Amino acid sequence: MANKSMDEETKNNLEKELYLFNTGEHFDSYLTMGCKKDSYKGKDGFRFTVWAPNAKSVGLTGEFSDWHMGIEMERIGETGCWTVFNEQAIEGQCYKYRIEQSDGTVKLKIDPYAFEFEVRPNDASIVKNLPEKKWRDGLWTASKKRFSIYERPLNIYEVHLSSWKHHEDDSWYTIPELQQELIPYVKKMGYTHIEFMPLMEHPLDASWGYQLTGYYAVSSKFGTMEEFQNFVEAAHLANIGVLMDWVPGHFNRNDYGMVYFDGTPQFEYKDKDKAENNRWGTMNFDLGKDQVQSFLISNALYWIEQFHLDGLRVDAVSSMLYLDYDIGEWKPNEDGSNHNKVGVKFIQKLNEKVFERHPDTLMIAEESTAWSKVTKPVYMGGLGFNYKWNMGWMNDTLKFFEMNPSSRKHHFNLITFSFMYAFNENFILPFSHDEVVHGKKSLMHKMPGDRYNQFASLRTLEAYMMVHPGKKLNFMGNDYGQFLEWRIHEGLEWESLADEMNAKHLHFMESLNMLYKKEHALWEIDHQTQGIQILDADNATETILSFIRKGKKTRDFVIVICNFVPNERKGYKIGVPFEGTYEECLNTEMHEYGGVWTKLQGPFKTIKETTHQQDYTIELIVPAMSVLILRPKRIFGVPKN
């Protein structure tokens, strides 16, 4: 049975909530909209509330009504929303909204605010209330408040949930199974965070989760809300952060979803050229519409607050910044510019609202253009993110490493150019899923030469990323040198670890990650020019790059020597800042990692000779195709700081 008319108190309360929703200021709108457990006139049931401003009528239909004609919903004044209380609805039942559009067409639509959906190919929303979890991760959340993420190690392991590992019958791991295996693996390997590709409801695997239908639901193909909450809690108890990719720019255009929800442009732009995203076959959100802002900003906060996520990596930011970003026909602004002004304002508002509540959250932009001040605060004219993927560094670096080593000296600027802009933004250096799919080859397969030289190059590549200014991200499979590129319908090639070279590379990555966490110089002042001192960036002939990475304390520094060609350099002199003794803490060519060196060099004693503008010099052998990292063992004349 449904109550078709509200009492005045219920109506007034809803109208207050919906006023905020309609002004773009309701950032907990999921507590009002959608399906919510409620009591009304002494009866227990669920209240259903939906935004459909231009519908002629809206009905509720589902298992509780045997999918017969829709239970009539009441229009709530001039709010554009409709509501009904149903005492027959129980948790776990399926439902949809029956929308009579302005032209009389009737369509069954999902609930945009649903917390759960049927397992595909079925697509109905499911009656579900927010779980009331008692969280046990207080120490983790407290530690985030005490220590700034900018001055902490950040080394992210990017994961696609259903293709990380498969069972023998080719079924993927459930969230509880991942909790038992993925978290210990990430901890053992020395990563600081897991980043999931989108886990929200989406109908097509080929979209990798980036074409969403249910923004408030964990995809039913992956598991339940409770299971994902438990996963995040378990990760935090293991001192592992959890991030997730989030897609506020565009949404899936399947007819049962949000597309032309009430028969008119509702969630999407009114202008068809702006609304239709031809690149991805999706619909672009009208980011200037107040109700859309309430929907999306509430959604970001929902994942942060209800799941204790440590941050969101915001997908395709460029598509929200530009009017002409892959849409075909477009109209410039009155001043002739191509900036999407409402998109810019939405992004700024999103970041301001998130950081107002959660200043220790990571808001990471995947932004592929030269837009300035992406990671500067809004009050400084920035977009307000605190991190940005460094796509320029990634493209130049991979282009350089894919070359025949003999050609690299002619293109040395591909490696050195990034130091010109490394501190313009707070950067994350990404080797993500996008670089190992669609015929691009795996990281290991990109490397030239025979198998030995491929692994030597891969170790050099990974070590170079670790010593370069900026936080780190690596996609699953990179860490043991998977040869085949990523395939979404299959698990990773874990069987490759039976091969000695793959097993040694995994050991190398574990050692490298642990070294990164140990050496303050590699992350403590990552985003300040004082964090690096270039020694020699002009040695294109030998194709060697050298620099010093520094921490806050003068004694916290490491010397880095990168040799990008398979030629050993004997008697190589490197300048160091202080007299004393230095030792190797990494040689990527060690036998235990797959190289040919059986023992480390050193310790090295300085000689009083000026090299690389430094007062002291040490002499050593630089192995072929390698990265060496040296640290002070006992040094003199260090000023106190």
**Residue-level pLDDT at 7:** 82
Whole-number Å distance between alpha carbons of 354 and 126: 28
Whether residue 366 lies in the annotated active site? yes
Q: How many CA atoms within 13 Å lie on the side-chain side of 583?
A: 7
pLDDT tens sequence across 63-100? 999 998 789 999 999 999 999 999 999 999 999 999 99
Share of the chain above pLDDT 70, in %: 99
Query: What's the token pair of residue 521?
Result: 């110089």
Could you say which of 116, 315, 485, 589 is catalytic? 315
Element (H, E) at 352: helix 341-357
- Residue 522 neighbours by CB distance under 10 Å: 25
Give the Å distances, CA to CA, from 634 to 472, 561, 600, 605, 612: 30, 20, 17, 10, 21
> What confidence tier does 4 reach under pLDDT thresholds 50, 70, 90?
low
Q: Give me the mean pLDDT over the 482-500 stretch.
A: 96
**Residue-level pLDDT at 1:** 46
Lowest mean pLDDT among 120-124, 419-423, 590-594: 120-124
For the chain, how big is the Rg over CA atoms in Å? 27
User: Among 166, 156, 159, which residue's Cα sits nearest to residue 196?
Assistant: 159
Asked if the model's pLDDT at residue 161 lies above 60, the reply is: yes
> What confidence tier does 330 reach under pLDDT thresholds 50, 70, 90?
confident
**Residue-level pLDDT at 302:** 98
pLDDT tens sequence across 535-554? 999 999 999 999 999 999 99
- pTM for the model stands at 0.97
- Domains of the chain with CATH codes: 2-126 (2.60.40.10), 433-482+503-641 (2.60.40.1180)
Cβ 181 vs Cβ 238: under 8 Å: no
CA torsion 616-620-623-626 (nearest 10°) is -20
Query: In this structure, what DSSP letter does residue 63 have?
Result: G
- Residue 610 neighbours by CB distance under 10 Å: 10
**Residue-level pLDDT at 6:** 77
Could you say which of 233, 366, 367, 524 is catalytic? 366
Whole-number Å distance between alpha carbons of 189 and 511: 8
Whole-number Å distance between alpha carbons of 564 and 553: 30
With a CB cutoff of 8 Å and minimum separation 6, the contacts of 86 are 1, 2, 45, 46, 47, 48, 60, 64, 71
Whole-number Å distance between alpha carbons of 339 and 343: 8
pLDDT tens sequence across 368-405? 999 999 999 999 999 999 999 999 999 999 999 999 99
With a CB cutoff of 8 Å and minimum separation 6, the contacts of 435 are 394, 398, 443, 475
92 by Cβ neighbours in 10 Å (0-12 / 13-18 / 19+) ranks as exposed
Whole-number Å distance between alpha carbons of 339 and 350: 18
Q: How far is CA 343 from the centre of its chain?
A: 20
CA torsion 312-316-319-322 (nearest 10°) is 70
With a CB cutoff of 8 Å and minimum separation 6, the contacts of 347 are 314, 317, 320, 321, 383, 384, 385
**Residue-level pLDDT at 325:** 81
How many residues belong to the chain?
641
Helices of type H across 138-289? 138-146, 175-189, 225-237, 272-275
Whole-number Å distance between alpha carbons of 520 and 314: 28
Reduced to 3 states, what is the DSSP secondary structure of residue 505? Answer: helix
Reduced to 3 states, what is the DSSP secondary structure of residue 96? Answer: strand
**Residue-level pLDDT at 5:** 67
Asked if the model's pLDDT at residue 3 lies above 80, the reply is: no
571 by Cβ neighbours in 10 Å (0-12 / 13-18 / 19+) ranks as exposed
Asked if the model's pLDDT at residue 482 lies above 90, the reply is: yes
Amino acid at 451: R
